[in-house]
């Protein structure tokens, strides 16, 4: 275990002091019980490395689901001054705008028997392609792709995939301005033609579950979450398109760092000034990938509704699937925050971290103005997930950010070794959870033991005041890539 000079600030906050070339301290949110797992990884060192970056303000932040990533840790948050700060693809991640959508329904868990659940999971597996390189849900031609990249979920709704009611409760309304398809390589565009409406691989999933516990009656009511009612969670991002945008930008910035006299302890933190040609090109391309991911999840949500109708032989009014909210957790955005007592614009990098805005904030949809922005924290496929709301403390301390999930504590290789010859699908079926995966290997890599217990992660962010619990969800069936 690395020997960190870790200061305890309180029961939920820990700090690596500013030393050497660090421009700010690195602050970690976690319970003491979580520290052993967190410190056994290199992720805290990555958080300290981020603190060396030009123009960083306040602190390099790490959420309790922190684990090792490319450059930035997954679970890392950092904000940069637009005048003298940098933009870093590693601070957003390869899967740009990977995010989560939660849908609620009027169906109850008791109304679905095991055969219903199996039919539903099978229908989802047919309608939402999974796996590495998955394609086939929707193909667009080269002349249409720029419309997707500029308009995101709005494009999908305009084509009949869902409705404006979905757009009202998606972060940014499902579309960000400033996307420039000319800033994206031909290879990225090629990869984006046939992956809209696809789940992908790794930790991406589509889960059918139910509301198992309510902690905040009013917030749950406003969100349309009722105990025992069926839910659906979609977790995916910008697929191969976003990966290519990131990869292209990392190559460009790695070559350009010497030009800007930027020296950092880890070359994976490749970055350039926000106002540099390389930085501006990446921002325009990243926004294309953000919109691509919004469109991708919108099409999957539409096909999820169709799967319910097909498998359960019910019309839309009987399943009542509506979008509760959709959050992004691999993104960089220009936002106004209070820094050192003054309001200023900053470029907030959230990598494996979710926006968490309080009640009354102007960016919270009208439906949620008096309860706060919904925060969606999925767990692993064998346990539970959580819905929370943002808080003023998050706005004050973390640029309105919180955790994004359970966070891995095992590599995929170690998970496979731990699982050995176990039949994980059969184990979960015995617990009443139906799983369909593109391969046995994918399911094995995603065993519950590979992840922190998301209840511990949620305890840490709630204890620190960054988010407040609303409801717990438990799985009935899952499809994975």
- Eight-class DSSP state of 15: E
Tokens 């909210």 sit on residue: 325
Is residue 256 classed as helix, strand or coil in its secondary structure? helix
**Dist. CA 208–CA 210, nearest whole Å:** 7
Tokens 């020997």 sit on residue: 3
**Dist. CA 68–CA 85, nearest whole Å:** 24
Of 323, 318, 287, residue with least CA distance to 164: 323
| Token couple for 467 | 């988010």
**Dist. CA 314–CA 293, nearest whole Å:** 29
| Token couple for 254 | 């790695």
Question: In 212-222, which positions are buried (b, 16+ CB within 10 angstroms) versus exposed (e)?
Answer: bebebeebbeb
Cβ-in-10-Å burial (0-12, 13-18, 19+) of 180 comes to middle
- Cβ-contact 419, 444 below 8 angstroms: yes
**How many angstroms separate the Cα of 225 from the Cα of each of 104, 113, 432, 439?**
6, 21, 22, 33
**Dist. CA 321–CA 107, nearest whole Å:** 9
**Dist. CA 167–CA 172, nearest whole Å:** 9
**How many angstroms separate the Cα of 252 from the Cα of each of 119, 123, 269, 282, 289?**
47, 42, 13, 9, 17
**Dist. CA 407–CA 418, nearest whole Å:** 17
Identify whether 319 is a catalytic site residue.
no
Catalytic residue among 52, 329, 337, 404: 404
Q: Could you tell me how many residues make up the chain?
A: 481
**In 47-204, beta strands by DSSP E:** 56-67, 74-80, 86-87, 99-108
**Dist. CA 384–CA 448, nearest whole Å:** 10
Q: Which residues does the annotation mark as catalytic? A: 404
């Amino acid at each position: 275990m690395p020997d960190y000079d870790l200061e305890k600030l309180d029961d939920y906050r820990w700090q690596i002091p500013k030393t050497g070339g660090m421009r700010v301290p690195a602050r970690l949110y976690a319970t003491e019980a979580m520290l052993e797992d967190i410190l056994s990884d290199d992720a805290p060192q990555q958080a300290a490395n981020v603190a060396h970056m030009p123009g960083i303000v306040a602190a390099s932040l790490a959420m309790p689901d922190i684990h090792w990533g490319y450059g930035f840790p997954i679970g890392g948050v950092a904000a940069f001054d637009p005048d003298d700060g940098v933009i870093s693809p590693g601070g957003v991640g390869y899967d740009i705008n990977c995010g989560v959508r939660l849908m609620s329904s009027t169906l109850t868990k008791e109304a679905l028997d095991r055969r219903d659940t199996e039919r539903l999971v099978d229908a989802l597996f047919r309608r939402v392609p999974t796996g590495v390189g998955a394609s086939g849900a929707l193909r667009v031609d080269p002349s249409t792709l720029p419309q997707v990249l500029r308009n995101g979920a709005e494009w999908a709704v305009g084509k009949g995939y869902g409705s404006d009611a979905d757009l009202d409760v998606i972060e940014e309304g499902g579309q960000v301005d400033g996307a420039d398809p000319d800033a994206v390589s031909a290879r990225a565009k090629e990869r984006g033609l046939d992956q809209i409406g696809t789940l992908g691989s790794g930790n991406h999933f589509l889960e059918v579950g139910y509301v198992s516990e309510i902690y905040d009656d009013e917030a749950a009511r406003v969100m349309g979450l009722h105990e025992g009612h069926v839910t659906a969670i979609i977790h995916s991002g910008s697929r191969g398109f976003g990966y290519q945008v990131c990869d292209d930008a990392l190559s460009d910035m790695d070559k350009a760092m010497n030009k800007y006299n930027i020296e950092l302890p880890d070359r994976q933190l490749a970055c350039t000034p926000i106002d540099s040609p390389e930085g501006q090109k990446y921002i325009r391309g990243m926004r294309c990938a953000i919109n691509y991911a919004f469109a991708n999840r919108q099409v999957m949500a539409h096909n999820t509704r169709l799967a319910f109708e097909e498998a359960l032989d019910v019309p839309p009014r009987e399943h009542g699937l509506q979008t509760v909210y959709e959050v992004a957790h691999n993104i960089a955005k220009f936002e106004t925050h209070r820094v050192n007592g003054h309001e200023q614009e900053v470029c907030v990098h959230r990598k494996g971290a979710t926006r968490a805005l309080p009640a009354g904030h102007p960016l919270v949809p009208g439906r949620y103005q008096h309860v706060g922005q919904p925060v969606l924290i999925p767990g692993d496929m064998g346990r539970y997930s959580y819905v929370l709301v943002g808080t003023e403390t998050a706005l004050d301390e973390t640029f309105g950010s919180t955790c994004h999930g359970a966070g891995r504590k095992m590599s995929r290789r170690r998970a496979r070794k731990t699982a050995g010859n176990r039949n994980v699908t059969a184990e979960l079926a015995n617990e009443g959870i139906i799983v369909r995966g593109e391969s046995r290997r994918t399911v094995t890599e995603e065993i519950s033991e590979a992840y922190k217990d998301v209840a511990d992660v949620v305890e840490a962010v709630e204890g620190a005041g960054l988010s407040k619990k609303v409801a717990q969800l438990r799985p009935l069936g899952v499809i994975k890539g």
